[in-house]
Chains A and B, each alone.
Chain A
């Protein structure tokens, strides 16, 4: 059923059966570390390029998700995924290995939620039974594409964020037992806050997050207090405080949280926190998913934010347009 301005309602109870989250060595210190499925000791094996490593992370996350869902890879109908590398090559190459029909999606760091939304729509249409959806990012590979070579000494400001090395994928099926369901989703608009600093993405993405959250709340006739948590993807510490200022809602202080701001704890080495498509995917599919399953949370809004810039557009002096996709997850009380 189509609601107003980009909010979708799913009647068929698409649910997240299982998730697989594979992270790199730097993510070991994350407060979410306990809920990750596997922490790999190396970002890339010797004689392996960063891009190949990213592909391997995706493959691994997918097989873990499928295995945990007691499903077989060949029974998965569609594989929907995205990453940050040019032409989505890691996702495409992973799909070559997995040999599942592929839909590659790109909305920068919001790719994780975009693939979930697409997956839910496919389930709703009845044309697919089980779907793998998610996203990944790989720090060295992303860094070399968007910023500087890894070993180049450039001073990072306090606003800079650290791209996580992580792949997070979820197995979606209809009406699974004791699994969180996705009830609504809001497709993001591209919002431009006229920010130009690529080392301060939080400020650029905050308006997009605000737009999506606000539309979702009005379209579903709810308010912030109805949710246990509204978690944004990778605004970072400063981006989150900007978002809170923008809402000026008394509930926003506690309910609004950010995966990027929490991902690495308080370590100042990471400056404003984490970013990347893998950041929202890893945090949502590990920590939040676990809390939903345990019944700690019963209604959450997950908003993945993405900055749609490329080194090219930045150098050509364009501002940074941003997008945010949201899904609402509910866990029905048992019995």
Chain B
């Protein structure tokens, strides 16, 4: 258990360092950085490299946004394996839903609860 926490810390931290490098070194906006990382995750999964990383690092690989690209690709490929080309289209959101659905849900809830009385900085 301890070892998986350490690997989660290191791998998760390193993915964030890559993000910082894109932002500071290549002067990308946060939106560009995140999009680039998602595409990287999708490509890594295409080569079958992301799942081993998840096996290795657990949350260190599932929490960064790269895992979003991975799970989209994973769902698409799993369906494609079963149903051929149509599966590429239909399988996409098979496994990713939790990130997006929770973001939408908590977005609305957040807008509802936090009607700001005072702006703090």
- Interface: B121 (CB within 8 A): yes
Chain A contacts with B in 255-290, Cβ cutoff 8 A: 269
The answer to the question of B30 belonging to the interface, with a C-beta cut-off of 8 Å to chain A, is yes
Is A140 in contact with B23, judged by CB distance below 8 angstroms? no
Kindly state the separation between the CA atoms of A155 and B115 in the bound complex, as whole angstroms: 24
Q: Judging by beta carbons under 8 Å apart, are A46 and B117 in contact? A: yes
User: Contact: B119 with A154, CB < 8 Å?
Assistant: no
B85-120 Cβ-contact flags toward A at 8 Å (1 or 0)? 000000000000000000000000000000101110
Contacts of A46 in B (CB 8 A): 115, 117
Min CB distance B105 to A, Å, is 17
Across the interface, which residues of A come within 8 angstroms of B118, CB to CB?
Answer: 42-43
Least CB distance from B32 to A in Å reads: 11
Partner of A44, one of B23, B30, B119: B119
Measured between beta carbons, the chain B residues less than 8 angstroms from A269 are 121
- Annotate B13-39 by CB proximity to A: 1 below 8 A, 0 otherwise: 000000000010000001000000000
Whether B23 pairs with A43 at a CB distance below 8 angstroms is no
Q: Identify which of B30, B115, B117, B119 contacts A140 (C-beta below 8 A).
A: B119
- List the count of A-B residue pairs having beta carbons below 8 Å apart: 12
Interface size on B, residues (CB 8 A): 7
CB distance from A316 to the nearest CB of B (A): 14
Residues of B within 8 A of A154 (CB): 30
- Residue-wise interface mask of A (150-163) relative to B, using a CB-CB cutoff of 8 A (1 in contact, 0 not): 10001100000000
- Measured CB to CB, the nearest residue on chain B to A42 is B118
Closest Cβ neighbor of B121 among chain A residues: A26
Q: Kindly list chain B residues whose C-beta atoms are within 8 Å of the C-beta of A44.
A: 119
Interface residues as binary, A24-53 with B (CB distance below 8 Å gives 1, 0 otherwise): 001000000000000000111010000000
User: Nearest-CB distance from A63 to chain B (Å)?
Assistant: 24
Least Cβ–Cβ distance between B121 and chain A, in angstroms: 7
Q: What residues of A have a CB within 8 angstroms of the CB of B119 in the complex?
A: 43-44, 140, 150
Query: Bound state CA distance, A150 and B118, in angstroms?
Result: 12
The distance in angstroms between the C-alpha atoms of A237 and B27, with both chains bound, is: 22
Which residues of A does B touch, CB under 8 Å?
Answer: 26, 42-44, 46, 140, 150, 154-155, 269
- B-side residues, CB < 8 A to A, are 23, 30, 115, 117-119, 121
